Amino acid sequence: MTQPTLNYVNCPDASGGHRMAYWQWGQADSANVVVCVHGLSRQGRDFDVLARALVEQGAGRPGGLRVVCPDVVGRGESDWLKDPMGYQIPAYAGDMLAMLGQLHAQAQVKTLDWVGTSMGGLIGIGVCGQPGLPLPVPVRRLVLNDVGPAIQWDAIVRIGAYLGQAGHFGSVQQAADAMWAISQSFGPHTPEQWLALSRPMLKRVSDAADAEWRLHYDPAISVPFKQATQESTLQGEAMLWQLYDNIKAETLLIRGRQSDLLSPQTAQAMTARGPRARLVEFEGVGHAPTLIAADQVAVVAGFLLG
């Protein structure tokens, strides 16, 4: 079975810089690049199923396909920041520009697509909605997975209730069960699918063979998130709509029909303004579709490769 390679890029910050990890699938010198960016408390291996499918289906394209799945700083194999206030969307977008610059230097990028789940979609809106950014090429196709410029306050409160609690677990299965208790909105998964999604979410507390497990991310990613208020969220919404209206990429909007984060009203508005996104909803799923189910993979792959 195809496996990704782990790579790093050095990114600047006010504290002397940090390394961001990214997982690369497919043909390393391909000019056709798809960037997949995960949600707030997740990491790049969330996209294993989608990345494999894209690489396999894209193998027949001239030059193949390169799928790149970063671990946003503070998550996965990436560094933790010295200043937790750096855990915000504008800084994440800067890291993505550094990564894309490195990818372009390694092998020229001629087509660039973006898949963003939740936070990864907000980063994508920031990257695609600012025409002057130093991208190798403009983003051609953009997938926004259950996120838009307006985010429901109740969902922010729900996520804030557990974000930052890294926990200690006696086994991977125990951790998977605990994560499932707060993640059932992701929709139906087999036990095997959920365990596969859960393993990359964990790290050993120490090097001891019998050490407990903890969640992969820096608990301090919660610091700026928990400082948000309803007022500041509404102020940010206006700016995000402005960025969204600037997007030129062909856009697919995915929504879990039971999502508490992306309202039906916001989703419909996104189809009528800016890039006029094509909307696809999945029944029995809330926030956010994991892009593992065959029908979800087919929709994304068809959009990107069609």
Q: What is the pLDDT of residue 165?
A: 84
Residue 165 maps to a domain: no
Token pair, residue 35, equals 């960037």
Residue 190 lies in a domain: no
Task: Indicate whether 47 belongs to any domain.
Answer: yes
Q: What pLDDT does 1 receive?
A: 56
Kindly report whether the global pTM for this prediction surpasses the value 0.75: yes
Is residue 119 situated within a structural domain?
yes
Q: Which two tokens stand for residue 258?
A: 């039971």
Q: Which pLDDT value is given to residue 211?
A: 87
Q: What φ, ψ does residue 161 adopt, rounded to 5°?
A: -70, -25
The three-state secondary structure class of 255 is strand
Q: What is the CATH number of the domain that holds 95?
A: 3.40.50.1820
Query: Please, what are the averages of pLDDT over each run of 10 residues along the chain (306 residues)?
Result: 91 96 97 98 98 95 94 98 96 98 98 98 98 96 98 92 88 95 94 97 90 95 92 92 98 98 98 98 97 98 96
What pLDDT was estimated at residue 208? 87
Indicate the number of domains in the chain. 1
C-alpha distances in angstroms, 301 versus 6, 138, 214?
Answer: 23, 20, 33
Is 125 inside a domain boundary? yes
Domain that holds residue 125: 5-155+231-305
229 token code pair: 């208020």
In a domain, 161, yes or no: no
Tell me how far apart the alpha carbons of residues 156 and 171 are, in angstroms, rounded to a whole number: 29
Both tokens of 240, joined, read 């995000």
Tell me which DSSP letter residue 4 carries.
P
Residue 17's pLDDT is 96
Residue 269 lies in a domain: yes
Backbone φ/ψ region at 34: left (φ over 0), alpha (ψ -120 to 50), beta:
beta
Tell me the pairing of strands 32-37 and 111-117: parallel
DSSP string of 57-109?
HHTTSTT--EEEEEE-TTSTTSPPPSSGGG-SHHHHHHHHHHHHHHHHHHS--
Which whole-number Å values give the CA distances from 232 to 74, 127, 152, 153, 224, in the listed order? 23, 21, 13, 11, 12
The reply to whether 177 falls in a domain is no
* CA-based torsion, 41, 285, 293, 303: positive or negative: negative
